[in-house]
Protein backbone atom coordinates (compact mmCIF):
# COMPACT_ATOMS: atom_id res chain seq x y z
CA UNK A 1 0.00 0.00 0.00
CA UNK A 2 1.25 3.48 -0.86
CA UNK A 3 0.71 6.53 1.27
CA UNK A 4 1.29 9.88 -0.40
CA UNK A 5 2.56 12.99 1.35
CA UNK A 6 0.21 15.91 1.94
CA UNK A 7 2.14 17.90 -0.69
CA UNK A 8 1.64 15.15 -3.27
CA UNK A 9 -2.08 14.98 -2.47
CA UNK A 10 -2.34 18.76 -2.81
CA UNK A 11 -0.68 18.58 -6.23
CA UNK A 12 -3.08 15.83 -7.35
CA UNK A 13 -6.14 17.79 -6.22
CA UNK A 14 -4.89 21.02 -7.78
CA UNK A 15 -4.39 19.19 -11.10
CA UNK A 16 -8.15 18.52 -11.28
CA UNK A 17 -10.39 21.11 -12.89
CA UNK A 18 -13.57 21.04 -10.83
CA UNK A 19 -15.85 23.84 -11.99
CA UNK A 20 -19.37 22.40 -11.69
CA UNK A 21 -21.48 20.72 -9.03
CA UNK A 22 -24.52 18.59 -9.79
CA UNK A 23 -27.19 17.50 -7.30
CA UNK A 24 -28.46 13.94 -6.75
CA UNK A 25 -31.10 12.24 -4.59
CA UNK A 26 -29.10 9.00 -4.38
CA UNK A 27 -25.63 7.70 -5.17
CA UNK A 28 -24.52 9.19 -8.53
CA UNK A 29 -22.85 5.88 -9.41
CA UNK A 30 -19.54 5.22 -11.13
CA UNK A 31 -20.26 7.61 -14.02
CA UNK A 32 -21.80 10.36 -11.84
CA UNK A 33 -25.05 10.41 -13.83
CA UNK A 34 -27.48 8.37 -11.71
CA UNK A 35 -30.17 9.97 -9.54
CA UNK A 36 -29.72 13.54 -10.84
CA UNK A 37 -32.30 16.06 -9.71
CA UNK A 38 -33.51 19.33 -11.14
CA UNK A 39 -32.33 18.93 -14.73
CA UNK A 40 -30.44 22.10 -15.71
CA UNK A 41 -31.50 23.62 -12.37
CA UNK A 42 -29.56 20.84 -10.60
CA UNK A 43 -26.16 21.94 -11.92
CA UNK A 44 -24.19 25.08 -11.12
CA UNK A 45 -20.76 26.61 -11.53
CA UNK A 46 -18.39 26.16 -8.61
CA UNK A 47 -14.93 27.46 -7.70
CA UNK A 48 -12.67 25.49 -5.37
CA UNK A 49 -9.70 26.98 -3.51
CA UNK A 50 -6.18 25.66 -3.93
CA UNK A 51 -5.54 22.44 -2.05
CA UNK A 52 -4.16 22.49 1.46
CA UNK A 53 -3.61 19.51 3.77
CA UNK A 54 -4.95 17.16 1.06
CA UNK A 55 -8.26 19.02 0.78
CA UNK A 56 -9.86 21.64 -1.52
CA UNK A 57 -12.78 23.69 -0.19
CA UNK A 58 -15.39 25.65 -2.10
CA UNK A 59 -14.50 29.35 -2.36
CA UNK A 60 -18.15 30.40 -1.91
CA UNK A 61 -21.54 28.83 -1.33
CA UNK A 62 -23.20 27.46 -4.49
CA UNK A 63 -26.91 28.27 -4.67
CA UNK A 64 -29.46 26.27 -6.65
CA UNK A 65 -32.97 27.47 -7.51
CA UNK A 66 -35.87 26.06 -9.50
CA UNK A 67 -35.87 22.65 -7.81
CA UNK A 68 -39.08 21.00 -6.68
CA UNK A 69 -40.24 22.04 -3.22
CA UNK A 70 -38.62 19.82 -0.58
CA UNK A 71 -36.65 17.93 -3.27
CA UNK A 72 -34.34 15.36 -1.65
CA UNK A 73 -30.64 16.17 -2.16
CA UNK A 74 -28.40 13.53 -0.58
CA UNK A 75 -25.35 13.49 -2.88
CA UNK A 76 -23.34 15.86 -5.06
CA UNK A 77 -21.07 15.16 -7.99
CA UNK A 78 -18.16 17.32 -9.14
CA UNK A 79 -17.43 17.89 -12.82
CA UNK A 80 -15.14 19.63 -15.27
CA UNK A 81 -17.26 21.66 -17.70
CA UNK A 82 -20.18 19.26 -17.20
CA UNK A 83 -18.35 16.65 -19.28
CA UNK A 84 -15.64 15.05 -17.12
CA UNK A 85 -16.93 13.40 -13.91
CA UNK A 86 -14.31 13.89 -11.18
CA UNK A 87 -15.97 12.58 -8.03
CA UNK A 88 -18.94 12.39 -5.72
CA UNK A 89 -19.77 12.94 -2.07
CA UNK A 90 -22.66 11.96 0.16
CA UNK A 91 -24.21 14.78 2.14
CA UNK A 92 -23.99 13.70 5.76
CA UNK A 93 -24.55 16.99 7.58
CA UNK A 94 -26.78 20.00 7.04
CA UNK A 95 -29.76 20.17 4.71
CA UNK A 96 -30.67 17.09 2.69
CA UNK A 97 -33.60 18.67 0.85
CA UNK A 98 -34.46 21.87 -0.99
CA UNK A 99 -36.65 24.31 0.88
CA UNK A 100 -40.33 24.97 0.11
CA UNK A 101 -39.28 27.50 -2.57
CA UNK A 102 -37.10 24.89 -4.34
CA UNK A 103 -33.80 26.44 -3.23
CA UNK A 104 -30.75 24.53 -2.06
CA UNK A 105 -27.22 25.61 -1.07
CA UNK A 106 -23.98 23.64 -1.15
CA UNK A 107 -21.85 25.41 1.45
CA UNK A 108 -18.18 26.29 1.73
CA UNK A 109 -17.87 23.43 4.23
CA UNK A 110 -17.88 21.17 1.15
CA UNK A 111 -14.42 19.83 0.33
CA UNK A 112 -12.65 17.56 -2.11
CA UNK A 113 -10.41 15.23 -0.13
CA UNK A 114 -7.81 12.53 -0.72
CA UNK A 115 -7.98 10.24 2.29
CA UNK A 116 -5.66 7.34 2.96
CA UNK A 117 -7.35 3.97 3.50
CA UNK A 118 -7.37 2.76 7.07
> What tens digit of pLDDT does each residue of 23-70 get?
999 999 999 999 999 988 899 999 999 999 999 999 999 999 999 999
In the predicted structure, residue 118 carries a pLDDT above the cut 70: no
The mean pLDDT of 65-77, rounded to a whole number, is: 96
Return the SS3 of 116. Answer: coil
What range defines the domain where residue 105 resides?
17-113
pLDDT value at position 34? 97
Percent of the chain whose predicted confidence (pLDDT) is above 90? 79
Q: pTM of this prediction? A: 0.89
Is residue 12 in some structural domain? no
- From its phi and psi, is residue 70 left (phi > 0), alpha (psi between -120 and 50) or beta? left
Rounded CA gap, 99 and 67, in Å?
Answer: 9
Is residue 71 in some structural domain? yes
Rounded CA gap, 109 and 118, in Å?
Answer: 23
b (16+ CB within 10 A) / e for 84-102: ebbebbebeeeeebbeeeb
- Number of structural domains found in the chain: 1
Rounded CA gap, 3 and 42, in Å?
Answer: 36
Q: Please report which confidence band the pLDDT of residue 81 belongs to, taking 50, 70 and 90 as the band edges.
A: very high
Amino acid sequence: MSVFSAAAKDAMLDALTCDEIQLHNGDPGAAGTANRVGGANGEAAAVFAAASSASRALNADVDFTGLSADQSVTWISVWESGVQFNGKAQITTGDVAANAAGEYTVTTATTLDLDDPV
